[in-house]
Amino acid sequence: MENMANRSDKVAAKWRASVAGQGWRNWPRLALSGLDGGLRRLLPGRCAFCLAPGEAGQPWCQACFETLPWNLPACPRCGEPQPSGSLEGRLCGHCLAHPPSFDKTWAPLRYQDEVVSLMQRFKFQASPRAGSVLMALLEAGLTDVPRPDALIAVPLHPNRARQRGFNQAEWLARRLAPRLGVPLRLARRLGDTPSQRGLDRSERRRNLKEGFEVPGPLPGRVALLDDVMTTGATLDALARACRRAGAEAVEAWAVARTPFSQLW
């Protein structure tokens, strides 16, 4: 009988082959959420999603791993989720009309369901447990991806970083780079741009025009890392800065990709 590790490898390989406040009425949910978070921290070896016994060496059980919203199929250039039955390797209409500055995207998951709650715990509660699970999922999706010459995290402006408390993309990159055996290069955000929320692709692109600076010269092939890829405008702007700094090939990496249908 096939063991759990092999089955997990097959699920990940399938993806790689295709390429504010709360009112008093909410206190029971908040209390249970806090209890659940405590249990997840205190019970290592348990699934991060359902608390069942985890698969050996991984922070998930087999059932939850297989039902995660894997980004299949997806546009190979921008990672935009495509309808079921779409031809593998076919570019989406937006990339055919307006190709981004990066060459391809690796985003193994869709920003849906369990991934949303996990990402929010990481991004807004600075949960190291959530970050570790996201890191493990990203690594599972990158196993067969050729290693870049350097890794670059999407930077936050210092003002935004102080407000949030940390840069989630840099947190991931500082842990992923040594595991891949590649150097981490730092980029700089030139302005404290307004929030991208509620903006369409063209508005986001204008918001970020000439928004990054990357010290050069860069090596030939670099990968840009973010936690969630929404429209791709941020990574596109950073990719342009990388090409100005000498990069010849630029890839966009993210843990998850937001489906276009969820944006507005």
pLDDT in tens, 238-257: 999 999 999 999 999 999 99
**pLDDT value at 6 more than 70:** no
Same domain, 130 and 218: yes
- Range picked from 41-45, 102-106, 195-199 for highest mean pLDDT: 102-106
pLDDT in tens, 145-189: 999 999 999 998 778 777 777 899 999 999 999 999 999 999 999
The verdict on pTM exceeding 0.85 is no
Same domain, 171 and 105: yes
Structure token pair of residue 237: 């702007």
Helix, coil or strand: residue 223: strand
Domain span at residue 125? 93-262
Same domain, 103 and 220: yes
Q: Domain tally for the chain? A: 2
Task: State the Cα angle at 10 between 6 and 12, rounded to 5°.
Answer: 115
Query: Which among 69, 124, 80 is positioned nearest to 259, based on CA atoms?
Result: 80
pLDDT in tens, 14-44: 554 554 333 333 433 333 344 344 444 445 6
Same domain, 126 and 31: no
Same domain, 52 and 172: no
Determine the pLDDT at residue 26: 40
